[in-house]
């Protein structure tokens, strides 16, 4: 998802450690992890809904095509 290399991640952690402090860092990371989990679940839910709508539309198109198609005996 994000293209973050190890050196960049270490810099972010070092800045967070200095800005937040070692005492509050675990609490902040836990909160951020919870938010990330909620965002991921929301995104997966949106993807699932899009897939369901796509499958429903395909099914409707297939049924419509079958309905409009003349029987094989007639031409």
Please report the pLDDT score of residue 73 as a whole number. 65
Block means of pLDDT (10 residues each) for the chain, 75 residues, are 82 90 91 96 98 96 87 65
Beta strands in 1-75 (DSSP E): none
Euclidean distance between CA atoms 6 and 13, whole angstroms:
10
What is the DSSP-derived secondary structure letter of residue 69? Answer: S
Sign of CA dihedral 38, 41, 45, 50: positive
């Amino acid at each position: 998802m994000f293209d973050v290399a190890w050196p960049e991640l270490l810099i972010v952690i070092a800045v967070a450690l200095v800005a937040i402090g070692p005492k509050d860092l675990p609490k902040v990371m836990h909160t951020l992890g919870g938010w990330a989990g909620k965002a991921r679940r929301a995104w997966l839910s949106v993807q699932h809904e899009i897939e369901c709508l796509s499958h429903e539309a395909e099914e409707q198109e297939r049924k419509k095509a079958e309905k409009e198609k003349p029987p094989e005996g007639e031409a």
